[in-house]
A and B are shown apart, each in its own frame.
Chain A
Amino acid sequence: MPLGDFTPLLARPARAGRADGPATVSRRRPRTGGLSSERLSPFVLIAPAVAVIVLFRLWPLLLGVNFSFTGDGARNGSAVGLDNYAELFADPLFLGALRNVGWLVLLLPIAVAIPGMLATFIYLRVPGHRFYRSVYFFPAVLSPVIVGSIFNLLLSFDGPVNSLLELAGLGPIDWLGDSDVAMFTVVGVHIWATFGMSLVVFLSGFATLDPALLDAARSDGASLPQVIRHVIIPGLSRTIQFVFVTTMIGMLTSMFGLIYVMTSGGPGGSTYLPEYYIWIQQGQMNRPAYASAASTVLFLVMLVVGLAQVSFLRRTGRED
């Protein structure tokens, strides 16, 4: 679900500046003799967490990369070099999935601008801002499965949305059955479901903005677009950066549920994303090694997109 992807990008080790912390071990040792359990206590406290993370998160990453150079089925386990990757980039389904990633990158500014604008209005206290804040956030806590199921109902060809369109004199749209439309429908539903999350992040960024700056701009007679351009965007550059990266990660890693429920990758493979492709290959097609190659490509894509965004936003941030 979307929530899972709000990783604290701008984190800095919380221990910074804590060098004067208690030198527990050495202080207690002389008094109580050996006391090895006390001496080992930090490791005892942290060992279970480290074990879980290493075993089930970091180690599989290496294992997967390694695995992607081996074969499936008859060639199970034998080294096949780059065969999996060559096959991957010859598969129209996978290329389609990558093209859809391209669409996501292009749609990203919209997915960031919508919550950004709404957060600005809420911050400027439009009537009912408290209400909007909690209502907008609500879909973000719903599972993609629930969201997808509901929109399956609403967007089916003879469904309520089309009958509303008919009332307005507009022809029915095959939201999920038309291969030119389906991907945008799914992305639209994803944005509907997650914009509240970015909104809340924006609002917490606004809380760090100096209100005196806004007052000064207003008393100088600045219009709303001017305030946004010259006060809010520069003041929130870190938050905007954070939202860009987390929204991108969210689009690349938490749309599985929606695709699974709404389109199953169809029609005609038009709504495949890499994560769905990986799932199909490893489960339905029983080709885990090949799926690992797709995983490795997804990881590289995310790394490249993430780093490109950060450096791009840094540069534009500096120009301001």
Chain B
Amino acid sequence: MRGARISRWLIALPMALLALATIYPLVFTGNAAMKTRRDYILDRFAFTDTLRWDNIATAWTSAGTARYFLNSVIVVAGASALLLLLGSMAGFALSHLRFRGSRALFLGCLAALFVPFQVIMVPLVRTMADTGLVDTYPGLILAYTAQYLPFTIYLMTSYYSAIPTEITDAARIDGNTTYGVYRRIMLPMGRPALLSVGVLNALFCWNDVLIALLMMPSAEHRTLMVGVTSLRGQYSADIPTFASGVLIAAVPVLAVYLFFQRRIADAVTAGSTKG
């Protein structure tokens, strides 16, 4: 037993080092953002003794970051909302309503999960261009919705399947139509799953760069992540300002992570243990 305890501590040490390696890069970036250019060049590692916000302010105002941030917020909010609406409706139909072809639809949805974006991006962008959706908010929102909808439907269907039919039957006896059951039973009862998958979808959309690059060619429609990629060239000699831009893009994610860590992990693993 003693031996086991010692070996546990032996394992814990490299794990602690790895934890450090996991956090430190972001700490380094945050620290660099607080320094003046001169301080950064003189000593990159020393922790800053004062919190200076002017680099952040520069990155926010001068590089178009504020605009990009707003674009990202609009698109992420739109796509997340649409995903929740379509996903919960489809999940309800697939889990509780009997209709011709429901099984085939569910399987088709699973098949769509295995079509990576890279494989369809060329024809998708052409279709979007033909319909005038390229370089518009609705276009990018639709592209994100299409990308993450299969996963959302899968998750909502399996969550709703656990809701016993007695509950929906009772609601029907009380005079609810199918739509009433959806609105009064399924939406409220699905709240935990909707929150998990909503947070996860928002992260996906916020973090994406490839779809945004393709769908939003013009500078004023850039999302924040695309904006960050252009910062590097702009501030190659001014690392603290560059680091500030990176920090602005990372902080919302950090906040969401601290609040919803368990929910994110739940949503990620929901697919892995079933079956």
Residues of A that sit less than 8 Å from B by CB: 1, 3-15, 18, 20-25, 28, 37-38, 41-43, 45-46, 48-50, 52-53, 55-61, 63-64, 67, 118, 121, 124-128, 131-132, 134-139, 141-146, 149-154, 160, 163, 192, 196-197, 200-201, 203-205, 207-208, 224, 238-239, 242-243, 249, 252-253, 256-257, 260-261, 274-275, 278-279, 282-283, 288, 291-292, 295-296, 298-299, 302, 306
- Residue of B90, B121, B272 ringed by the most chain A CB atoms within 10 A: B272
The interface centre, meaning the residue of A23, A50, A146 with most chain B CB atoms within 10 A of its CB, is A146
Residue picked from A46, A63, A127, A275, most chain B C-beta under 10 Å: A46
Q: Write out, one digit per residue, whether chain B residues 142-174 have a CB within 8 A of any chain A CB (1) or not (0).
A: 110111111101110110110001001100100
List 20 A-B pairs, Cβ < 8 Å.
A8-B272, A11-B275, A22-B169, A24-B98, A24-B178, A42-B99, A50-B108, A53-B108, A58-B112, A61-B115, A64-B119, A121-B15, A127-B8, A136-B18, A139-B22, A141-B207, A149-B231, A151-B25, A242-B271, A291-B122
- Minimum CB distance partner of B157 in chain A: A14
In the bound complex, CA of A46 to CA of B151 (Å): 15
Would you call the interface of chain A mostly helix, strand, loop, or mixed?
helix
The answer to whether A3 touches B268, judged by C-beta atoms less than 8 angstroms apart, is: yes
Q: How far is the CB of A133 from the nearest CB of chain B, in Å?
A: 9
Given contacts A4-B148, A4-B204, A143-B253, contact A43 B99 (CB under 8 A): yes
Q: In the bound complex, how far is the Cα of B150 from the Cα of A24, in angstroms?
A: 26
Residue among A144, A153, A224 with most chain B CB within 10 A: A153
Chain A's nearest CB lies how many Å from the CB of B157? 5
Which of B106, B113, B246 contacts A150, CB < 8 Å? B246
Q: Are A49 and B25 in contact (CB under 8 A)?
A: no
Contacts of A49 in B (CB 8 A): 86-87, 89-90, 109, 149, 153
Chain B residue total in the interface (Cβ 8 A): 116
Say whether B154 contacts A11, CB under 8 Å. yes
- Name the one of A45, A60, A61, A253 contacting B92, with C-beta atoms under 8 angstroms: A45
List residues of B whose CB falls within 8 A of some A CB: 7-9, 11-12, 15-16, 18-19, 21-23, 25-26, 28-29, 32, 44-45, 86-87, 89-90, 92-99, 102-103, 105-127, 142-143, 145-151, 153-155, 157-158, 160-161, 165, 168-169, 172, 177-179, 182, 200, 203-204, 206-210, 213-214, 225-226, 228-229, 231-232, 239, 242-243, 246, 249-250, 253, 256-257, 261, 264-265, 268-275
Task: Choose from A15, A134, A249 the contact partner of B103 (Cβ within 8 Å).
Answer: A15
Tell me the bound Cα distance from A11 to B113 in angstroms: 11
CB-CB < 8 A to A298: which residues of B? 116, 118-119
Would you call A137 and B207 a contact (CB within 8 A)? Answer: no
The distance from the CB of B119 to the nearest CB of chain A, in whole angstroms, is 4
Check B122 against A278 for contact (C-beta < 8 Å). yes
Q: A41-B97, A131-B19, A256-B210 are in contact. Are A145 and B123 (CB under 8 A)?
A: no
How far in angstroms is the closest Cβ of chain B from A290? 9
Q: Complex formed: what's the CA distance from A13 to B98 in Å?
A: 14
Partner of B105 from the list A11, A46, A136, A197 (CB cut-off 8 Å) is A46
Known: A6-B271, A144-B209. A53 touches B122 (CB 8 A): no
Within the complex, the shortest CB–CB distance from A260 to chain B, in Å, comes to 7
Q: Give the 9 A-B CB pairs with smallest separation, nearest first.
A: A8-B271, A143-B207, A56-B146, A10-B275, A41-B178, A204-B269, A49-B90, A14-B161, A60-B120
Residues of chain A contacted by B249 (CB below 8 angstroms): 143, 145-146
Interchain CA distance A125-B209 in the complex, whole Å: 37
A8 touches B142 (CB 8 A): no
A201 touches B90 (CB 8 A): no
